[in-house]
A and B are shown apart, each in its own frame.
Chain A
Amino acid sequence: MSRLVLMQGNEACVEGAIACGMRFFAGYPITPSTEIAEYCALRLPMVKGHFIQMEDEIASMAAVIGASVAGVKSMTATSGPGFSLKQENIGYASAAEIPCVIVNAQRSGPSTGLPTSPSQGDVMQSRWGTHGDHPIIVLSPSSVSETYTLIIRAFNLSEKYRTPVIFLMDEMVGHLREGIEIPEHIEIVNRKVIKGGQSQHMPYRIPDGECAPVFAPFGEGDRYNITGLIHDESGFPTNSHIEANRMITRLMRKIEDNVDDIVATEERYTEDADIAVLCYGGTTRSVLEAIDEARSKGIRVGMFRPITLWPFPEKELFKLSGKIKKLIVAEHNYGQIVLEAERVVKNNCSLKFTGKVDGTLISPAEILRAIEED
């Protein structure tokens, strides 16, 4: 029989990250993400990693980018207002193609909001929080076990596509303690690098067959420029409209062209379902309980869960919408991912939203009511 380990969601986030090679964390504590920083401070020195508490969230994000440029897998964690502060540098990481993972344990907002009540109000911010057209990958776990395995995936995608990945947790999962089984084998993807001195000063020249640049980490002998400005293959700023178009288009397409690799979803009881509930993160747990109850009453209801929130699983949801009569979107906010669902589902099936903004969790009874109502 397997031995389970009791772990908090925030701890599982750190353990998973360390297991796949995260060795640098910079952050500024904020509930409900604080345990991630605390646990990193404890665990990173044990694996010859580094933890820094910076003076604020902006500097933390900058430090993470710096460490990653030097070749170290790096992470920061924050919540609500701290996530807002990190946005400028997230854009920088996106433009300069620096892999990093940003954990956002969501709490009620806007502003300092309702400290430190649960919410899922940062879904749109995680996609569009930083300005300009930019690629981003956002993953959302629904259990402590999944937090462990999904943070590994977050790093893998970040390294592979050289892009910031937002790990969108919520208070419910971050503060939950559950038994988890630590997987014996995990898949680890490391960014491609070249040896110092081989870039011919063209760090952003994309090698054949690659979708992202391959360059030597800072400090290994190559001298090159990194900037948030539109840059050409040399990494130096340019005002060329041709280069600007080329760069932004390539950034967007490195995600768009690989959605099948990036998107992950979970479906439960959808084979015979008339109704499906779309949910993600901690809300999933209420939905599962409600579905169980509804099914015991003979209602054929299933669940559709985007594990990858961004890019949004369009193909998967569109396919499901052709098989069901009604889609209920349940999220712990005033209605964010429901806009994507509407765009994708069109008139394939009817659509209904159930959400909440009072700082308390959506209960299974509330989901059940939404399922039972016409």
Chain B
Amino acid sequence: MSRHEIMLTGSGGQGMILASIILAQAAILENKNAAQSQSYGPEARGGKCKAELIVSDSFIRFPRVTNPTFILALTQSSLDNYTEGISGKCIVMADESLKVPYWLNPDQVIRVPVLDTARSRVGKLFTANIVAVGAINKVLNIAGWDNLKKAVLMHIPEKTEEINIKALKAGEMMLCSYQPAPSAERLLIA
């Protein structure tokens, strides 16, 4: 039985909520169970933003993340705040520009240039969330390419299809040679 408890964190406006919705949509298209939710309130506006997603082969009882198995962090404050006290088995995907806190085991951290890829390779920083979706799916294998692409297209504004698919591909390509570290691999199989 596979079950991922995912947290996508960054600052308000980076599109973490949309990214979590797209990944949930991709899981649903794969006939998996998904439960998505997000933080509300003043702290979510411009400040720290957190979206939660559970993807499972079986029925999801409690739909909130209690023991994260995967965290994406696009800002230093979200990386520092949301990874403290997590399990050593949780994979942390952090933007390359961030300083990895001392409490994380290097084996559990995947450093990727999400923001830089969006800015330089795709050409628009606002596609960072879609770049992240591509990268996350490469690691967690939530959906096949067709369903992933379909999920993105279902949730983005009209006339942004081309740039978002470019971002999705760039996100996947970032990790084209990705092999889970031995400890992380155990984790992904479990």
Chain A residues numbered 283-306 whose CB sits less than 8 Å from any CB in chain B: 285-286, 288-289, 292
- Minimum CB–CB distance for A290 against chain B, Å: 8
Chain A residues numbered 1-42 whose CB sits less than 8 Å from any CB in chain B: 1, 4-6, 31-32
**B41 touching A115 by the CB < 8 A rule?**
yes
**B35 touching A177 by the CB < 8 A rule?**
yes
Q: How large is the interface on B (under 10, 10 to 19, 20 to 34, 35 or more residues)?
A: 20 to 34
Contacts of A171 in B (CB 8 A): 40
**A179 touching B28 by the CB < 8 A rule?**
yes
In the complex, per-residue mask of A162-183: 1 if CB is within 8 Å of any chain B CB, else 0 = 0000000001100111110000
Cα of A31 to Cα of B31 in the assembled complex, Å: 31
**A177 touching B37 by the CB < 8 A rule?**
yes
Chain A residues numbered 104-122 whose CB sits less than 8 Å from any CB in chain B: 115-117
B13 contacts the other chain (CB 8 A):
no
Question: Which of A6, A361, A364 gathers most chain B CB within 10 Å?
Answer: A6
Chain B residues numbered 128-186 whose CB sits less than 8 Å from any CB in chain A: none
Known contacts A285-B63, A289-B62, A363-B66; is A179 also within 8 Å of B37 by CB?
Answer: no
**B40 touching A31 by the CB < 8 A rule?**
yes
Beta-carbon nearest neighbor of A2 in chain B:
B31
The listed residue (B28, B60, B63) touching A5 by CB distance below 8 A is B28
The listed residue (A32, A363, A364) touching B40 by CB distance below 8 A is A32
Contacts of B41 in A (CB 8 A): 115-117
Q: How large is the interface on A (under 10, 10 to 19, 20 to 34, 35 or more residues)?
A: 20 to 34
Contacts of A288 in B (CB 8 A): 61-62
Contacts of A286 in B (CB 8 A): 61-62
A193 contacts the other chain (CB 8 A):
no
- Minimum CB–CB distance for B65 against chain A, Å: 11
- Minimum CB–CB distance for B155 against chain A, Å: 9
B64 contacts the other chain (CB 8 A):
yes
A/B interface sample: 23 pairs, CB < 8 A: A1-B31, A6-B34, A6-B36, A116-B40, A116-B41, A172-B37, A172-B63, A172-B64, A175-B40, A176-B37, A176-B63, A177-B21, A177-B37, A178-B34, A178-B35, A179-B33, A285-B63, A288-B61, A288-B62, A289-B61, A292-B61, A361-B64, A365-B66
